[in-house]
Chain A
Amino acid sequence: MVMVAFAVALWGVGWWVNTRLAEGPNSGSRAVQLAVPLIFGLTVIGVWELLVRGLDVPLVILPAPSTIAVRFSDSIPILWADFVQTILKGALSGYLIGCIAAFLTAIAVDRSDFLRMGLLPVGSFAAALPIVGTAPILVMWFGFDWESKAAVVVVMVFFPMLVNTVAGLREATAMQRDLMETYAASYWQSFFKLRLPAAMPFIFNGLKISTTLSLIGAIVAEFFGSPTVGMGFRISTSVGQLSLDMVWAEIVVAALAGTAFYGMVAMIEKAVTFWHPSQRG
């Protein structure tokens, strides 16, 4: 009971500190903007820990953060192997293949108005479909190893990437195109010097959406069959053994990988599209 009271008190203190920080004179500063969500996160973890201990929540329902941390540090070799299998082999290779394929398709489609008009609605329709459902088929075709996961990822990222790239390639205005024309620029010159740079914000939007999709695809595809390594495999078997601390450790890995992946793409975007209004802020 003491722990529970302590948890309530901790929540109160955290909230009070954040209120003071957010409504204080320095609330616009970078440090405060970083500190407030951090304090919030730490408070949530603290309250979680205290409540789990105080209320004696069984491990099969919710493990305490400290239990998860211990399990995480104890099984770093396993987690690393799963990370390599699922993220590096499955998700990343599928991401690269899918994005490049979609990009090339977009360039091909872009040359023909008729194709673009036909493919864009089909593409945006396909982008809204539950493509994860192709996982059992692709696992059947490509076997249990990472190739099938990469294939699922390819299918998942293809359409969002295609739609974004095609939209981006139309971004250069008629004026700008005419200017290139008056310079007697060839198709590829005006493509590389005008239309591709103009399309970059859209392309990166597609790339960023695809990062999350690729992790989802790689993990869910493992639920349909996998070798005895991989994050999706570990999650489904650990759930079966009711060792939820392991599941949470994998989720921590997935969260870190997802954020890092997204962050990397966002950083590249910053470097490439430095001229765009959204990056100049």
Chain B
Amino acid sequence: MKSVLAVLTVVAAIVVLWYGACVPMNIKGVLTEVERAGAEVVPPGAKERRDLSEFALAARNSFAIPATWAQERPRLPAPHQVAAELWDTTVAKKITSKRSLIYHGWVTLSATVLGFAIGTGLGILLAVGIVHSRVMDMSVMPWAIVSQTIPIIALAPMIIVVLYSVGVQGIIPKAVISAYLSFFPVVVGMVKGLRSPDMMQLDLLRTYNATNAQGFWKLRLPASMPYLFASLKIGIAASLVGAIVGELPTGAVAGLGARLLAGSYYGQTVQIWSALFAAAILAACLVGLLGLIERAVLRRMGIAA
């Protein structure tokens, strides 16, 4: 109970800070607008105000402060503006509309989930291979670890273009990017998990005359579950980033990444922020869903309380 209160306090503090930050961020634009509308501004003229500090301007024109939270295209939109835009583009719009965030979110989500499934599947397969074959372990594992220090997302634009030039487009290129971003965390985590049973346990199975396959299904795989879920959570977050970045070079057709890019082309800050929050909510839902599955699976296996 106390921790809920603490979280709420921190969130409230962030919101207050945010409203506060809107004032200096937007004051210059607001003053120019109200002056054009005929209000008295000290000092008059945008040129005179250019080199003054934002705080001094806000203090001398305190009547304009409420306007900084209600601008059309603010540098920093206020929280309620973002919330209103989110409500507008999710609930108030038909989901078939091109302006509906649900539509764009769905485009991104489908690529994310498809890529995540491919990446996880291949990652688990490779991990099984690595655990069972010493050659594969020694050859592939160092590269899998090194690859985690590399910003592989730099490959994303190239993958899109290359796949386009061989005639593949739509959801597949984005899914490929998502897949390889989630692939390596899953490999590394799964190898760790499959290796987590200690010598005693492996020896015990040997005394039972268990085959390798039995050892895998009855000991290694169950033991790897906590590790698998930890890396799945990292993997799905990476997949979402991959899908969003994968939407950038295609010229902003559909998807949350496209909304971000289009917003930044046309200076629609509220649109950028709402797309950003939609992506954040999506990520939170995906990670949360995995957390629920993890709890259910581990409880069923008797690992978690």
Interface residue ranges, A against B (CB under 8 Å): 15, 18-19, 21-23, 27, 32-33, 36-37, 39-41, 60-62, 114-115, 117-119, 121-122, 125, 128-130, 132-137, 139-141, 211-212, 215-216, 219-220, 223-225, 231-232, 235-236, 239, 242, 244, 247-248, 250-251, 254-255, 258-259, 261-263
Q: B75 near A141 (CB under 8 angstroms)?
A: yes
What residues of A have a CB within 8 angstroms of the CB of B219 in the complex? none
Q: Can you list, as one digit per residue, whether each of B244-257 has a CB less than 8 Å from chain A (1) or not (0)?
A: 11001100000011
Nearest-Cβ distance from residue A16 to partner chain B, whole angstroms: 10
Q: A254 near B150 (CB under 8 angstroms)?
A: yes
What residues of B have a CB within 8 angstroms of the CB of A40 in the complex? 139-140, 143
CB closest chain-B residue, reference A256: B150
Q: Known contacts A130-B240, A235-B154: does B148 contact A212 (CB below 8 Å)?
A: yes
What residues of A have a CB within 8 angstroms of the CB of B11 in the complex? 118, 122
Interface residue? B300 (CB, 8 A): no
Q: A211 near B10 (CB under 8 angstroms)?
A: no
Q: Known contacts A225-B264, A247-B158: does B150 contact A27 (CB below 8 Å)?
A: no
Contact partner of B150 (CB less than 8 A), chosen from A36, A137, A258, is A258
CB closest chain-A residue, reference B9: A118
What residues of B have a CB within 8 angstroms of the CB of A224 in the complex? 248, 260-261, 264
In addition to A18-B135, A118-B8, A258-B151, 13 A-B residue pairs with Cβ atoms within 8 Å of each other are A15-B135, A19-B135, A22-B139, A61-B166, A122-B7, A122-B11, A130-B280, A136-B261, A136-B272, A220-B245, A251-B154, A255-B150, A259-B146
Q: Is the interface of B mostly helix, strand, loop or mixed?
A: helix
Contact partner of B154 (CB less than 8 A), chosen from A141, A231, A262, is A231
CA A15 – CA B257 in complex, angstroms?
Answer: 42
What residues of A have a CB within 8 angstroms of the CB of B154 in the complex? 219, 231-232, 235, 250-251, 254
CB closest chain-B residue, reference A214: B151
Q: A239 near B150 (CB under 8 angstroms)?
A: no
| Residue among B150, B162, B165, B240 with most chain A CB within 10 A | B150
Interface range for B: 35 or more
Nearest-Cβ distance from residue A72 to partner chain B, whole angstroms: 15
Q: A130 near B151 (CB under 8 angstroms)?
A: no
Q: Known contacts A121-B7, A219-B153: does B139 contact A130 (CB below 8 Å)?
A: no
Q: Can you list, as one digit per residue, whether each of B129-160 has a CB less than 8 Å from chain A (1) or not (0)?
A: 00000110111111100101111011101101
What residues of A have a CB within 8 angstroms of the CB of B233 in the complex? 128
Q: A114 near B138 (CB under 8 angstroms)?
A: no
Q: A130 near B284 (CB under 8 angstroms)?
A: no
Q: Can you list, as one digit per residue, whether each of B208-238 has a CB less than 8 Å from chain A (1) or not (0)?
A: 0000000000000000000000000100010
Interface residue ranges, B against A (CB under 8 Å): 2-3, 5-11, 14, 75, 134-135, 137-143, 146, 148-151, 153-155, 157-158, 160-162, 165-166, 233, 237, 240-241, 244-245, 248-249, 256-257, 260-261, 263-264, 267, 269, 272-273, 275-276, 279-280, 283-284, 287
Q: Is the interface of A mostly helix, strand, loop or mixed?
A: helix
Q: Known contacts A118-B3, A118-B10: does B75 contact A219 (CB below 8 Å)?
A: no
CB closest chain-B residue, reference A251: B154
What residues of B have a CB within 8 angstroms of the CB of A22 in the complex? 134-135, 137-139
Please list the 7 inter-chain residue pairs (A to B) with the smallest Cβ-Cβ separation, ordered nearest first. A118-B6, A136-B264, A118-B10, A40-B139, A262-B149, A117-B6, A215-B151
Q: B157 near A223 (CB under 8 angstroms)?
A: yes
CA A254 – CA B275 in complex, angstroms?
Answer: 29
CB closest chain-B residue, reference A19: B135
- 16 A/B residue pairs, CB under 8 Å, sorted by A: A22-B137, A36-B139, A37-B142, A40-B143, A60-B162, A114-B6, A118-B3, A122-B10, A133-B257, A133-B279, A212-B148, A220-B245, A223-B245, A223-B249, A224-B260, A235-B158
CA A263 – CA B143 in complex, angstroms?
Answer: 14
What residues of B have a CB within 8 angstroms of the CB of A115 in the complex? 6, 10
CA A185 – CA B143 in complex, angstroms?
Answer: 47
CA A130 – CA B279 in complex, angstroms?
Answer: 7
CA A20 – CA B36 in complex, angstroms?
Answer: 81
What residues of A have a CB within 8 angstroms of the CB of B283 in the complex? 128-130
Contact partner of B269 (CB less than 8 A), chosen from A18, A140, A259, is A140
| Residue among A39, A133, A223, A254 with most chain B CB within 10 A | A133
What residues of A have a CB within 8 angstroms of the CB of B14 in the complex? 122
| Residue among B7, B137, B141, B151 with most chain A CB within 10 A | B151
CB closest chain-B residue, reference A260: B149
CA A134 – CA B6 in complex, angstroms?
Answer: 26
